[in-house]
Amino acid sequence: MNDFPVAESLPEPVPRQVHLPRRADSPRITYGLLGITLFVYVLQQLSVPIWGYALPGMDWLVFFGARWNAPILQGEFWRFFTPLLLHGSLLHIGFNMYALISFGSFLEVPLGHRRFLLLYLLSGLSGNALSFLLSKGYSIGASTALFGLIAAEGIFFFRNRALLGSYARQAMGNILFILIVNLLLGLSPAIDQWGHLGGLLGGLIFAWFATPRYKVVADAPSDLVLEDQSRPWDEVLGAALTFLFALFLIFMKFL
């Protein structure tokens, strides 16, 4: 009878924790933006009857700062930011604030408060700038900035895909699905699709440079120690390029 060597069973791999470095302990900018936006919406509702009588024929959303080309062409450049605080209905603000909490509460922790606020504002600026260039009428809503957050989350997982593995691939798939669904919904004539696309592009530009890029610096038995390899000037470069992108779109309208 032949004797065959018996393969020894290998020990089960011990699961190890991966702790991502945190720039912020809590997403307080996200909660602050949520609170300010809700407060402005309440003011909108309280002001409708007052301004409706005081300014007959005036659209109150335009009065409060909607992205409307005519006054922007006359120098009211704050209208590239004020639309982020304005919403047309409970459903509109409810959907946008849910998205803000969903994406903001995740992104702000690794990005930090300053980078997250820059991402939000520059995405909103880029979205309203492209809308200014290619759309007529007026537009309102935080969705220009929110598309930037969606883009930034996708970039975060893409830049760290080697480390996060299947989790990153699953997250990127979910983000792509969300983008496709929202872009299809944006085909409705009542939705400012150009604003969404501009916010998406602004978020992509900023996040490509400013997002954390993690590397394993210590391989302990129980966990992996990571370090963010991004440099301080990456944030400055991302912000500058995104601002120049928005500025170019605005300049094209004045030609």
Q: Classify residue 165 as left (phi > 0), alpha (psi -120 to 50) or beta.
A: left
Q: Is 19 a catalytic residue?
A: no
- Quick check: helix, strand or coil at residue 186? coil
- Whole-angstrom CA distances from 94 to 37, 39, 81, 149 are 11, 13, 19, 17
Bridge partners of 219?
224
8 Å CB contact between 89 and 96: no
- Whole-angstrom CA distances from 248 to 114, 162, 244 are 24, 35, 6
Q: What's the token pair of residue 85?
A: 């605080």
Host H or E run for residue 217: strand 214-219
- Straight-line distance from the first to the last Cα atom of the chain, in angstroms, rounded to the nearest whole number: 92
In the set 113, 135, 196, 222, the catalytic residue is 196
What's the CA gap between 144 and 167, in Å, rounded?
27
Rg (CA), the chain: 23
What's the CA gap between 142 and 140, in Å, rounded?
7
8 Å CB contact between 208 and 241: no
In the set 143, 166, 188, 230, the catalytic residue is 143
Q: Is 143 a catalytic residue?
A: yes
Bridge partners of 19?
225
Q: Tell me which residues are annotated as active site.
A: 143, 196
